[in-house]
Amino acid sequence: MLSVARRREARIAYLFLLPALIIFVLGLIVPLWNAFQLSFYDLPMGTPWADREWVGFEQYTRMFADSGVWSSVWVTLRFSFWVLVIEMLLGLALALMLEKPIFGASIFRTIFILPLMVSPVAVGLIWRYLLDGRIGLINYYLESIGEAIPPLQAIGFTSHTWLGEPGLAFFAIIITDIWQWTPFIFIILLAGLQALPSEVVEASYIDGANWWQMTLFVKLPMLRSIILVTILMRLIDVFRALEVIFILTFGGPGRSTEVLSLNIYKTAFTAQAAGYAATISILLLAIMLILSIGLLFISNPLTEGEDN
């Protein structure tokens, strides 16, 4: 039984939460509920809701047998794996380099956050230009180097149709993602490194540990939970994002760069199957939910340090 004062406090709290709740319900809960409903209906895109046709679990069985969906899941997983591994290594290297206050550290830091601020559509367009088979700068320089040093031609220093071949297109979306998102990992790991208790690091220094030992056996173990949270946050973002790939390859050639989000978009707006697209999006939501619960399990800043 709540006391009068506590009940009054709760009532005020709900009033303060009301606007947020209204926006959540209208902007997120209603659409999500609608997507869930839609997953059981056949509805062509752009037709009135009244024309929907109940099909039960038919679209779910169709999805589990759909090789296109599984290919998208596989592309998403491979894509996440490569970008995470490379971005973590690069980001960590950069963070370790800028950890000590060196001359120009703040300039470098500002430069490194610039790619994060560029609109994903612009990122896609810039890289589509750079990777263009005919006028792209990347081909131009590869070719120039290959011509200058002919033996290098054998190991790829020639023109490529970057966005036209499955393997290369996959490589292209990875490179683009690394360019934009390595800075994010760098920023978080840098903050993590700088928040480490200096006594422990100093103690290991006095004990005669060299730089490698200090990094591998002292700093990295202490950063473990931050690294895990960063990986999960990036993983969630990789699963969410599709804009860069939308502009760069639109999933092609074939399905070689079609991540799950893009598969959903194409099913809904190219194949015009709103119901089936909603079914696939339930699969994506389920994957996201597992990832998010993992993230909450490791760290929840909202309930941490609760002492009141």
For the chain, how big is the Rg over CA atoms in Å?
Answer: 24
| Pick 153 or 299: Cβ nearer other proteins | 299
Q: What amino acid occupies position 75?
A: V
Which residues lie below 8 Å from residue 57, measured CB to CB, with a gap of 6+?
40
Report d(CA 126, CA 140) in Å as an integer: 16
Q: Which helix (H) or strand (E) holds 53?
A: strand 53-54
Question: CB 256 → other proteins: shortest distance, Å?
Answer: 19
Report d(CA 126, CA 136) in Å as an integer: 10
| Pick 12 or 85: Cβ nearer other proteins | 12
| Pick 38 or 83: Cβ nearer other proteins | 38
Question: CB 88 → other proteins: shortest distance, Å?
Answer: 13
| Pick 85 or 122: Cβ nearer other proteins | 122
Question: CB 266 → other proteins: shortest distance, Å?
Answer: 10
Question: CB 285 → other proteins: shortest distance, Å?
Answer: 6
With the C-alpha atoms ordered 217, 219, 222, 225, is the resulting torsion angle positive or negative?
negative
| Pick 48 or 151: Cβ nearer other proteins | 48
- Residue 111 burial class via C-beta count within 10 angstroms: exposed 0-12, middle 13-18, buried 19 and up: exposed
Cβ–Cβ < 8 Å for 131, 162: yes
